[in-house]
Every structure is written in structure tokens, then in C-alpha cells.
């Protein structure tokens, strides 16, 4: 089906909810569990423990991506192929987000490290359960390509707003009320945006039978353009994740500023992106 402009905006709102939850985790999880010396809250794990937990959770994320994509492609239900994943996994994702900021011990311990590894792994698995089907809805809500650039621009705008809420809002909330309260406040905001997006779309039920996962993977990787794309996007995400994980530490350690100063510097980065977004959308329309 093709959505009307209002429906496309509601669909694009999912980008806000996803960004609020994921970007907050990437920004603060290292700082929360292994804060630098001089911070007002205690360390819950060593930097090495946090690094291993993050690596393990990202491996879970990588393995889940093709599996969730295949499950979504193969599902046949009267609610569609994608929406059931969004509507079921989003509340679980929000709960997992809250639990990330409530480790079992108030000091460094193996229990905290294991808790972080498991909770992060579940978080990124559920994130995949929501975001893969959500992204796969785009061709359906912009049938024939009509309104696709506009819809993706709306997604980018909502995603940017979510990043702004994560960067600025989480910084202010965690400084003023603590990380546990921050989790309780941001989780329902992200959940509401994701559920709104999932309920805004009515899917058509495909009549063709699902394809085996091996045949699908072979078909995708047989396209040389995809092989170039996957290498490029992996490199981009590698660099972006490195920056996101270190932003709070750059401000508090390298610059020697208090945690409250993170809000200012992250606000400047979001403002720069806001200014560049219209030019990027115009360039896409001109150049393809």
C-alpha cells in the first residue's frame, strides 16, 4: 500500500524512537559502567569487561540480522510480515533499555559484567527484531518509489531528532536525576514512537511463498554492487560507533570538563547535522 503524507510521517516517526534508545546506550553505557576517575558515581565494571560485553552483544546483533530478516520475509499473518515484529518486540526493547541502567551490584564485579553482556545482547537482538522489519516496510509504504525520498528524509529528520533527544536529553537527565531515572523517562518515549510507527501501516499480505534463506543470501551476495555497499556501510558504522562510544569520555577526560558539559558539546554536533540535512536531501534528489 502507499501511505498518504500524514501516514508516511507517522511511519517515519519510528526513526525517532529507535534513535533515542540506541544512541543513549551507545553514548552512556561505557561511561556508566566504567566511569573515568573523579566522576560522582562508582564504577560497576572494568573498561575491559565493558569492552568484552559490548563486543559480545555486537556479535549477537550481527548474527541476528540475517535471521530476523528471513523470519520477517517468511512470516504470513493477517497483520502482515513486519508489523508483528515491531509491535511485539518494541515493549521488550523498552524494558531491556530500563534494565541496562540497573546492574545488580553498586561496585565492580563479575556479576555486573555478566549482567551487562546478557542485557546488551538481548537489547541489540530486540533492536534488530524491531528495526529490520521496520526498515523493510519502506518499499511497501512508498509503492513504485513515489514519495520515497520524502519519506526517507522524514526518517532522517526524526532520526536526527532522536539523536538530539538522546544526546542532549539523556545528558541532562543523567546529570540531574541519575541514569536509572533517565532510563525510566526515555524508555516510554522511544516505545511510544515505535508503536505509533507500527500501527500507522497496513501491510498487504504477499501471495508468493517464502524463499529459503540460503538461496536468498546467495542471490544478495551475487550482486557486486551489494558487496561494495556492505563493505562501505560496515566501515562507516565502525567509525561512527567508535566516535559515539567515546564522546562522553572526550568531554570529561580529554577536555577535563564535568558531565554536565556533555550536553553543550553534543548539542553543537546535532545542530551542525540539522543545518546540513536540507542540503543533503537536495543533493540526493539531484544526483540520485
Sign of the alpha-carbon torsion through 195, 197, 200, 204: negative
What's the pLDDT at 163?
A: 85
- pTM for this prediction: 0.82
What's the pLDDT at 5?
A: 67
Q: Which of 108-117, 134-143, 188-197 has the lowest mean pLDDT?
A: 134-143
Is the model's pLDDT at 42 over the cut of 80? Answer: yes
Show the 3-state SS of 108-161: CCHHHHHHHHHHHHHHHHHHHHHHHHHHHCHHHHCHHHCCHHHHHHHHHHHHHH
Model confidence band, residue 200 (pLDDT cutoffs 50, 70, 90): confident
Show the beta-strand stretches assigned E in the chain.
none
CB within 8 Å of 76: residues ≥ 6 apart:
205, 206, 210
Model confidence band, residue 266 (pLDDT cutoffs 50, 70, 90): confident
How many Å apart are CA 174 and CA 32, to the nearest integer? 10
Is the model's pLDDT at 3 over the cut of 90? Answer: no
Q: Helices (H) and strands (E) in the chain — how many of each?
A: 12, 0
How many Å apart are CA 34 and CA 41, to the nearest integer? 10
Is the model's pLDDT at 198 over the cut of 60? Answer: yes
Amino acid at each position: 500500500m502507499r501511505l498518504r503524507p500524514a501516514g508516511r510521517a507517522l511511519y517515519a516517526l519510528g526513526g525517532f524512537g529507535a534513535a533515542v534508545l540506541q544512541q543513549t546506550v551507545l553514548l552512556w553505557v561505557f561511561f556508566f559502567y566504567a566511569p573515568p576517575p573523579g566522576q560522582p558515581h562508582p564504577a560497576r565494571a572494568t573498561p575491559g569487561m565493558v569492552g568484552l560485553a559490548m563486543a559480545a552483544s555486537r556479535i549477537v546483533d550481527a548474527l541476528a540480522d540475517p535471521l530476523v530478516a528471513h523470519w520477517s520475509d517468511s512470516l504470513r499473518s493477517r497483520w502482515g510480515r513486519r508489523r508483528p515484529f515491531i509491535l511485539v518486540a518494541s515493549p521488550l526493547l523498552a524494558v531491556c533499555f530500563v534494565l541496562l541502567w540497573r546492574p545488580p551490584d553498586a561496585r565492580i564485579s563479575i556479576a555486573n559484567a555478566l549482567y551487562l553482556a546478557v542485557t546488551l545482547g538481548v537489547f541489540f537482538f530486540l533492536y534488530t527484531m524491531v528495526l529490520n522489519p521496520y526498515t523493510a516496510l519502506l518499499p511497501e509504504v512508498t509503492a513504485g518509489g513515489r514519495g520515497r525520498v520524502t519519506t526517507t528524509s522524514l526518517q532522517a529528520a526524526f532520526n536526527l531528532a532522536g539523536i538530539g533527544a538522546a544526546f542532549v536529553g539523556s545528558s541532562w537527565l543523567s546529570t540531574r536525576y541519575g541514569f536509572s531515572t533517565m532510563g525510566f523517562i526515555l524508555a516510554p518515549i522511544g516505545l511510544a514512537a515505535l508503536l505509533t510507527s507500527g500501527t500507522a501501516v497496513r501491510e498487504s499480505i504477499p501471495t508468493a511463498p517464502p524463499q529459503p534463506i540460503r538461496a536468498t543470501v546467495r542471490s544478495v551476495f551475487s550482486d557486486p554492487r551489494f558487496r561494495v555497499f556492505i563493505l562501505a556501510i560496515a566501515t562507516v558504522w565502525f567509525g561512527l560507533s567508535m566516535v559515539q562510544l567515546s564522546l562522553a569520555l572526550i568531554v570529561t577526560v580529554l577536555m577535563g570538563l564535568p558531565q554536565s558539559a556533555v550536553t553543550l558539546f553534543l548539542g553543537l554536533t546535532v545542530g551542525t547535522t540539522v543545518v546540513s540535512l536540507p542540503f543533503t536531501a537536495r543533493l540526493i534528489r539531484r544526483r540520485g
